[in-house]
Amino acid sequence: MKPLSVLAAALGMHYVFAESWAPEYGNAVLSKWPIKRSKVQKIFDDSDFRNVLKATIDVPQTGEVDFHCTLLDHLDEKWRMKQIKAIIESNERPHILAGGINSLDETDYSSERWTDIVKYYEEMGKPTPKVEVMKYLKSKQYTDAKDFAGECESVVIIAKGQNVQGTCKYGTRVDYILVSPDSPYKFVPGSYMVLSSKGTSDHHIVKVEVTKVDEPIQQPYVRRHRHPKQKVVKITNSNPSKGAWKLQTLDR
């Protein structure tokens, strides 16, 4: 796809693209490091035009990293459940899963905020928000990058009664970065952020730093005394350890 190839060339990055319902629509992965192999998988069956793009990236001094990018259905939670189950069942190796899951995580919102979200969705003519997909992923022991949040960009507002920045125009979080259970991939504490897309997309940018370690067990980063409107000091390191790099996902 030409726009993507132009972007990759300007950034000096490698890329792979998985066409969806139209030639210039789909999922893409851009990487600073060589992409050794990639695979495009129809999510549920041949009637489903959506896909998951699986890329294996060769990271120097770290080895292979399996990164999966997808965009689930934006209307039907039952269909999203079929899609996410098909994705999970097809995965044999530890991986990072990123993209527009388009389901909500009920732990992000207070009961009052949830009531407001349901009302707002109804007024906008959107289906009632659902949480089954994220419940399913948590039951499968996927780790959510949100639990390793650091500095909040003030441009992306956190609504009252919500403990995380929204990633879409409705103010809710529908875009995620997750790692599979028993995975060597670990999120760096304080590195998760939501950055404004500044009008280039109807969704914001989700960013987190990932490192690869030997131990398979990961403990969530605990943020103390953090209020949704409070700015947390960003953790920085001018000399990052080997094997750490930045990942970010965009939803078109």
The whole-number pLDDT of residue 243 equals 47
In order of 14, 155, 167, the CA distances from 197 in angstroms are 22, 10, 9
Q: What's the DSSP call for residue 44?
A: S
The whole-number pLDDT of residue 251 equals 52
pTM, two decimals, is 0.83
The whole-number pLDDT of residue 187 equals 97
Here the tokens at position 47 are 């009637």
The whole-number pLDDT of residue 233 equals 38
d(CA 91, CA 86): 9
Per-residue pLDDT reduced to its tens digit, 40-53: 998 877 788 899 99
Catalogue all structural domains in the chain, each as residue range(s) with its CATH number.
2-249 (3.60.10.10)
The whole-number pLDDT of residue 155 equals 79
The whole-number pLDDT of residue 226 equals 46
Write the DSSP assignment of 44-90 as a string of letters.
Answer: SSTT---EEEEEEEEETTTEEEEEEEEE--SS-HHHHHHHHHHHHHH
The whole-number pLDDT of residue 45 equals 77
The whole-number pLDDT of residue 229 equals 43
Residues of the chain with pLDDT under 50: 217, 224-236, 238-245, 249-250, 252
d(CA 96, CA 103): 18
d(CA 177, CA 200): 20
The whole-number pLDDT of residue 150 equals 87
Burial class (CB in 10 A: 0-12, 13-18, 19+), 116: middle
